[in-house]
Amino acid sequence: MLAVTFVLYQALNLYWWIVIASAILSWLYAFNIVNPGNPFVDAIGRFLWQMTEPVYRRIRRFMPDLGGIDLSPLVVLFAIMFLQYFIVVYVDPAIMRAGV
């Protein structure tokens, strides 16, 4: 059972880095540092958008409009941190005590 929580923890860790990469790439697009016409950059951007946009869209429905500032990646990162903390502090010890 600890293997399941380990895989879940690592999946959350991977998604953490995908959110970070998506935020960095959006800034690089905004400041014209990278060329979105480049096929490689476009492929990476589309992949990151497809991985993050469904989660962001759900969060944006409940967030107030702050102009040009999108706080949904920050909310996702906080949620990931909370879930990882919950796994490490509560789930893993409970599994160890149960002997599963």
Quick check: pTM over 0.95?
no
Q: Which ranges of the chain would DSSP assign to H, the alpha helix?
A: 2-30, 39-60, 72-86, 92-98
Report d(CA 56, CA 49) in Å as an integer.
Answer: 10
Quick check: 5 pLDDT over 80? Answer: yes
Q: Which residue ranges make up each domain of the chain?
A: 2-98
Quick check: 67 pLDDT over 90? Answer: no
Mean pLDDT across 56-77: 92
